[in-house]
Structure 1
Amino acid sequence: MSVPVVLVHGLGSSFAHNWGVSGWDDILQSEGFEVMGYELPGHGAAPEAQGGESEAVQRFLDLVSEKEPVDAIGFSAGARIVLRAALAKPSAFRKIVLLGIGDGMWTHTPTADDLVLADLVLQLLETAGNDRGAVERYIKGFTEMPALSELSKVTVPALVVIGDRDMVGPADAMTEALPDARMVVLKGVDHYATTSNFTCQDEVLRFLSE
C-alpha cells in the first residue's frame, strides 16, 4: 500500500493552479496514491506566517505528522520547504521530490533579470487569486538555505528534477550533497515549465513507485 503524497506548490501559486491544472493531482490519484496539498503561508486560504519560512516548515511538518511517513513533492519555493522539513525530521518522509530547485538557491546574486522574474510571479499570483501583499511578505520571510554540508542529514531517497534552462540551476552540488539522491535534467525546459513537463511527471511516478 502506498503512502500519502503531499504536494507543495511554488511561490505565488496555489495547490489548484500548480498541481490541479497541470494534472498531477489526477495522475497521482489514478496511480493509487492518496494526495494531500499544503498551501504556503499567505497563499490560497492559508494564513500568513509571522515566523516566515521557518514557521512555514513547522506548519508543513504538523500536516505531515498526521500521516507520516509520507512522500513529498515540492516545486521551487515549495521544494525549499520540503528540503528543510526533511532536514529537520527525515523520519517523517519515505521519499522526497525536489522540482525546480538548484545550486542557484545558494549562490544567486540578484540581477536585473530578477525584475522580469518578479513580473512573471506577479502574473502568476494574480492568475492563482493570491494577494500580492501577502506573497511579498512571505518572500521577505525567506531565510538562508542550510549549508550544503548539512544536507548529509537528509537521509531519505531524493529525486531532483530541473530544466537545463532553469535560472536556479544547475543542481549538481545540491544533488551531490544529498546522501541518496539522483538528478534528472529536462532538456529545453525553463523554471516555470517544469511541473507541466511530461518527462518530469513520468520520472516522478517511476521514482515513487520504486
Structure 2
Amino acid sequence: MTVFAMAPDGVRIALHELGDPGGAPVLLIHGFSSNAQRNWIDTGWGDALAQAGLRGIAMDLRGHGESDRPSTGYDVPRFVDDVDAVLEQLALPEAPGAIGYSMGARLLWRHAGTRPHAFRALVLGGLPAGDPFERFDVDLAHRALEERAEPGRMESFIVELASVFPEHDPATLVTLAGEVSATLFDPAQAPPTVPTLLMTGEKDDRADDTAELLPLLRDGRFEAIPGRNHINAPTSRAFRRTASAFLAEHLAGGR
C-alpha cells in the first residue's frame, strides 16, 4: 500500500515499503527519470534489505512515480524539504540510514550535509563529483522533445531519459531537470559527516570520478560495482549486498 507525505508546498510524496517490516529503517531515493518501483522494488532490493534485517522506505521524488507532478516547483530546496517531510511523516524513534542513486545520491549528500543528525549512515551510488546538469539548456530540450530543434549532447541525454518509462511525463521531467540545474551541485559546500559508502559501476562514464569525493568525507569509503554502468548499476547483486551489509553494520543496536 502506498502512503503519502505532504511537502510544505502541498505536493504529495509517495512512500513504498520493502524489506523487513521490523528492521532498522532505511530511506531509499531513486535517480532522475526512475521511481521507487523501477529503481528498488523491481530490482530485488527488498530481499537484500530483508536478509540484512533492514526496513526499506522508498520515496518517489516529486514529478516521478506516484508522487504529484506540479507544472513547476522543482528547485533543489524543495527536494530537500521533501526529505524533511518524509522523515516527519515516518516519525522514527532513531535516525535511519539512507541509500540514494544518482540524483537521489546528490539529494542525500545535500540533505545530510546540512542536517547532520537526520541519518546515521549513507550509501550513495552513481554520484559524480561534478553536476551532470551543468550546461543544460532546458528551452532547447523542450523544443527537442517536441521535435522542433536538434538537441545538444546533454539535452539529448535528458530527453532520452525523460522518455524511458511510460508512467512518466517527459515534459515534466525536462522542466524538473531545468529547475534543478539552476543550483549546481557543489559537494565541497556541505559534505556529510556520517559514515558514507560511495559505490559506482566500474563502466559508469557518467560518474567515473566518484572516488574524488572521498577527501571531503569524514568517514567515507569507495567500492566499484563490478561490470555495471550508470543505467544498470541498481540491478547489481553486489551493489545490493554491499550496501545492505554496510547499513546493517552501522544501524545495529538502533532497533
Q: Which of 189, 200, 216 is matched with 1:177 structurally? A: 216
**1:54 maps to what in 2?**
77
**2:39 maps to what in 1?**
18
Q: Helix, strand or coil for the counterpart of 1:191?
A: coil
**1:97 maps to what in 2?**
123
Matches of 1:25 and 1:73, distance apart in 2: 13
Q: Is the 8 A contact 1:164 1:170 kept in 2?
A: no
**Residues matched between the structures, number:** 206
1:136 Cα deviation (Å)? Answer: 1.5
Partner amino acid, structure 1, of 2:209: P
Instruction: Please say which of residues 183-192 and 77-86 is displaced more in the overlay.
Output: 183-192
Asked if 1:133 is matched to 2:171, the reply is yes
Q: Helix, strand or coil for the counterpart of 1:4?
A: strand
Runs of 4+ in 1 over 6 A off after TM superposition: none
Deviations 1:152-198 (A, max 9, x none): xx210000001122212221221221111100012432101111111
Q: Which of 144, 148, 158 is matched with 2:188 structurally? A: 148
TM-score using structure 1 length = 0.87
Q: Which of 161, 170, 176 is matched with 1:121 structurally? A: 161
1:96 Cα deviation (Å)? Answer: 0.7
Unaligned runs of 5+ in 1: none
Deviations 1:119-163 (A, max 9, x none): 54134332xx11112211211121211342532xx2100000011
Percent identity over the alignment? Answer: 25
Matches of 2:177 and 2:159, distance apart in 1: 14
Q: Is the 8 A contact 1:108 1:168 kept in 2?
A: no
Matches of 1:107 and 1:192, distance apart in 2: 16
Q: Is the 8 A contact 1:160 1:183 kept in 2?
A: yes
1:104 Cα deviation (Å)? Answer: 3.5
Matches of 1:61 and 1:79, distance apart in 2: 15
Q: Is the 8 A contact 1:103 1:170 kept in 2?
A: yes
Q: Helix, strand or coil for the counterpart of 1:150?
A: coil
Q: Helix, strand or coil for the counterpart of 1:160?
A: strand
TM-score using structure 2 length = 0.73
Q: Is the 8 A contact 1:72 1:93 kept in 2?
A: yes
Q: Which of 197, 210, 234 is matched with 1:159 structurally? A: 197
Deviations 1:35-90 (A, max 9, x none): 21111111122223625221011111221232250111011111111111101211
Q: Helix, strand or coil for the counterpart of 2:98?
A: strand
1:105 Cα deviation (Å)? Answer: 2.5
**1:191 maps to what in 2?**
230
Matches of 1:124 and 1:106, distance apart in 2: 18
Matches of 2:157 and 2:133, distance apart in 1: 17
Structure 2 CA distance for partners of 1:19 and 1:94, relative to 1, 3 Å: same
Instruction: Please say which of residues 72-81 and 45-54 is displaced more in the overlay.
Output: 45-54
Structure 2 CA distance for partners of 1:148 and 1:77, relative to 1, 3 Å: same
Structure 2 CA distance for partners of 1:171 and 1:109, relative to 1, 3 Å: farther
Instruction: Please say which of residues 44-53 and 130-139 is displaced more in the overlay.
Output: 44-53
What's the RMSD between the two structures over aligned residues? 2.4
1:17 Cα deviation (Å)? Answer: 0.8
Matches of 1:165 and 1:146, distance apart in 2: 24
Matches of 1:107 and 1:63, distance apart in 2: 25
- 1:6-85 matched pairs, under 5 angstroms: 6-47=27-68, 48=70, 50=73, 52-65=75-88, 66-67=91-92, 68-85=94-111
Matches of 2:80 and 2:163, distance apart in 1: 26
1:116 Cα deviation (Å)? Answer: 5.1
Partner amino acid, structure 1, of 2:26: V
